[in-house]
Amino acid sequence: MKKYDAVIIGGGIIGSSIAYYLTEAGLKVALIEKKDLASGTSSSCDGNVLIADKQPGFDTELAYCSQQIFDNLSEELNRDFDYTQRGSIYLIESKEEWETAEKFVNKQRENGYSMRMMDYDRVHEDEPLLADDIIGGIEIDSDASIYPMALVYSLAEKAIKNGLHVYNYTEVVDISLNKGKRVKSVRLSNSEKIYCDNVINAAGVWAPLIGKMVGINIPIKPRQGQMLVAEKTFQIGKRKIVEFGYMMAKFGEKDYSRKVHEVIDKNGIAFVFEPTQANNFLIGSSRRFVGYDTRLSLDVMRGLAARAMRFFPVLKDINVIRGYSGLRPYVADHFPIVSAVDSIKGYYIAAGHEGDGIGLAPVTGKIIQNFITDSSWDLSIDKDETISKLSFSRLRD
Amino acid sequence: MKDNVIICRCEEITLGEIKSEIKKGARSVTDIKRRTRAGMGLCQGRSCEILIQRIICEELNLSPEEVYPANDRAPVRPIKFNILGAELNEKV
């Protein structure tokens, strides 16, 4: 009879991070993944480790806490995952955006975060290939990028060294509870049955299916995001560059509208530029609710290209070599669910990070480690606030 | 064939690197792509995809039908930003 302290369902960035932190704490852990590691959302995203796109308060504190852990991780893990702390820039197109941006920056600075407004000269000096009419920017120092797939393998490989058992190309068929409504065992598609004290649902956009196995309704919806990959080229931009309108698109600000083509507006397209360690760059981003459909929309691709040229006209003669799309696990209040489930002992959810899963993976792993082991709370965020803001019960009506 | 032979020329990925990832659990061409970057370069796997499929078959003793090829994604050939986005780039 196989018996584990914890079974993690989902081999993406969240599941791997949890596997790493639980095995570091000495637990006996298995990870179940229906395909290969990093085969879902974690390989169809970008590598953001940002506080730039977070709202002041807990949202930023959580992301900042995770950023700090990345520093340690790059030393603790053996496989290089291209961690580069270049900082990021928000681009400002209008006076209206400038005013909102200034309020945002002042608030974040009051809270101790290292960022500042960039005037016209400063932003154009920093990024000489920018369109002439960009009026300014925000500079955020702590932001970083990673290569997400490498981080998944890196975390998993270290966890395997620590004793993790990975079942890849294996699905969970069924979760059994005992009479006290406590997690007892998990049945797998290879017809094995494994016993465990805890189950962690880290299945991202597929988390609702794993929720159904124990009769709970997890309100996560797949939200499709498309990206473009450009050829290797000369340096376009030095850092992570985002249009200020991205935040508006992310949080669905109703009374804010950009002067953009209907196709761009309708598909939540906002300019995101990410230079990679492979010397090419990625262009995002879009947000659409189309169920679990990952097919590319040509309209969205055209919108992404157009929006990118609006900020960097020099792109016009550069080649796009590929488009890709991924499903982001969306939760209505934009916070992930990292939580125990009151009605089922030993069942945890760690999913719903939408576009923040890469950046929040380390802190998510640490929080689950804290829930399951008796380790003391060693994170910079407040424990009670974390539990309540990320709780599953907050989403029940 | 020697392990230092380059299979993916765009990203300079060797046979040895590919075999090592198969040992760690990779089973499809896309698995190899994610783990090594083979097929992520300018030609998007047009040169190396078939080779990688064959390497997986040989290492795991599978037939080609059992090894998934990479996902095909637009654009079919590299296309300039200007051609893709021109229509939507007009000032509105």
In Å, how far is A387's CA from the nearest CA of chain B?
Answer: 34
Contacts of A159 in chain B (CB under 8 A): none
Residues A245 and A376 in one domain: no
Q: What's the Cα-to-Cα distance from B75 to each of A34, A365, A373, B8, rounded to whole Å?
A: 28, 37, 48, 20
Residue A364 domain-assigned?
Answer: yes
Residue B33 domain-assigned?
Answer: yes
DSSP A58-107: HHHHHHHHHHHHHHHHHHH-SS----B---EEEEE-SHHHHHHHHHHHHH
Residue B67 domain-assigned?
Answer: yes
Question: Helices then strands (H, E): number in chain A?
Answer: 11, 18
Residue of A251, A272, A204, A252 lying closest to A46 (CA atoms):
A272
Residue of A228, A202, A243 lying closest to A371 (CA atoms):
A202
Residues A319 and A239 in one domain: yes
Give the mean pLDDT of B48-73: 93
CB contact under 8 A, B80 and A318: yes
Residue B1 domain-assigned?
Answer: no
In chain B, which residue's Cα lies nearest the Cα of A315?
A: B81
Residue A59 domain-assigned?
Answer: no
Residues A212 and A226 in one domain: no
Residues A281 and A341 in one domain: no
Q: How many CB pairs under 8 A join A and B?
A: 104
DSSP A275-315: E-TTS-EEEE---B-BTB--PPPHHHHHHHHHHHHHH-GGG
Contacts of B90 in chain A (CB under 8 A): 261
Residue B81 domain-assigned?
Answer: yes
Report yes or no: A86 and A239 within 8 Å, Cβ to Cβ. yes
Give the mean pLDDT of B31-51: 94
Give the mean pLDDT of A142-163: 96
Q: Which of A313, A330, A347 is the last residue of a domain?
A: A330
Residue B27 domain-assigned?
Answer: yes
Contacts of B68 in chain A (CB under 8 A): none
pLDDT over threshold 50, residue B92: no
Residues A40 and A12 in one domain: yes
CB contact under 8 A, B89 and A37: no
Q: Which of A274, A306, A330 is the last residue of a domain?
A: A330
In Å, how far is B2's CA from the nearest CA of chain A?
Answer: 24
Structure tokens at A332: 């209505």
Residues A135 and A40 in one domain: no
Most confident of the ranges A70-84, A238-252, A287-301: A287-301
Residue B11 domain-assigned?
Answer: yes
Tally the domains of chain A: 2
Residues A129 and A183 in one domain: no
CB contact under 8 A, A320 and B24: no
Residues A171 and A277 in one domain: no
Report yes or no: A300 and A249 within 8 Å, Cβ to Cβ. no
3-state secondary structure of A57: coil
CB contact under 8 A, B73 and A322: yes
- Domain CATH code at residue B69: 1.10.10.1100
Residues A102 and A206 in one domain: no
In chain B, which residue's Cα lies nearest the Cα of A300?
A: B85
In Å, how far is A18's CA from the nearest CA of chain B?
Answer: 19
Tally the domains of chain B: 1
d(CA A17, CA A240): 24
Residue A225 domain-assigned?
Answer: yes
Residue B82 contacts A, CB cutoff 8 Å: yes
Contacts of B37 in chain A (CB under 8 A): 278
Residue B47 contacts A, CB cutoff 8 Å: no
d(CA A133, CA A311): 9
Phi-psi region of A101 (alpha: psi -120 to 50; beta: other; left: phi over 0): alpha
Contacts of B27 in chain A (CB under 8 A): 36, 168-169
- For residue A196, the cross-strand partners are A4
How are beta strands A193-201 and A183-188 bridged, if at all? antiparallel
- Domain CATH code at residue A172: 3.50.50.60
Residues A237 and A274 in one domain: yes
Residues A344-393 have pLDDT tens digits of: 999 999 999 999 999 999 999 999 999 999 788 999 999 999 999 999 99
Residues A285 and A316 in one domain: yes
Residues A122 and A230 in one domain: yes
Cβ neighbours of residue A52 closer than 8 Å, sequence gap 6 or more:
A88, A90, A115, A138, A140, A143, A240, A242
Give the mean pLDDT of A270-285: 92
- Domain CATH code at residue A315: 3.30.9.10
Residues A17-66 have pLDDT tens digits of: 999 999 999 999 999 999 999 999 999 999 999 999 899 999 999 999 99
Give the mean pLDDT of A138-158: 96
pLDDT over threshold 60, residue B91: no
Residue B88 contacts A, CB cutoff 8 Å: yes
CB contact under 8 A, B89 and A232: no
Interface test with B, best of A314, A317, A321 (most B CBs within 10 A): A321
In Å, how far is A154's CA from the nearest CA of chain B?
Answer: 10
Residues A172-201 have pLDDT tens digits of: 999 999 999 999 999 999 999 999 999 999
Report yes or no: A350 and A258 within 8 Å, Cβ to Cβ. no
Contacts of B40 in chain A (CB under 8 A): 229, 278
Residue A135 domain-assigned?
Answer: yes
Closest residue to B89, CB basis, from A39, A153, A306: A306
pLDDT over threshold 90, residue B66: yes
Residues A103-132 have pLDDT tens digits of: 999 999 999 999 999 999 999 999 999 999
Q: Which domain holds residue A323?
A: 88-141+221-330
Contacts of B80 in chain A (CB under 8 A): 316-320
Q: Which domain holds residue B64?
A: 6-89
CB contact under 8 A, B74 and A301: yes
Q: Which of A293, A309, A330 is the last residue of a domain?
A: A330
Residue A319 domain-assigned?
Answer: yes
Residue B28 domain-assigned?
Answer: yes
Residues of A in CB contact (< 8 Å) with B are: 35-39, 43, 149, 153, 157, 166, 168-169, 229-232, 259-261, 263-264, 278, 296, 298, 301-310, 315-324
Residue A67 domain-assigned?
Answer: no
In Å, how far is B86's CA from the nearest CA of chain A?
Answer: 6
CB contact under 8 A, A320 and B89: no
How are beta strands A183-188 and A172-177 bridged, if at all? antiparallel
d(CA A330, CA A280): 29
Confidence at A96, pLDDT banded by 50, 70, 90:
confident
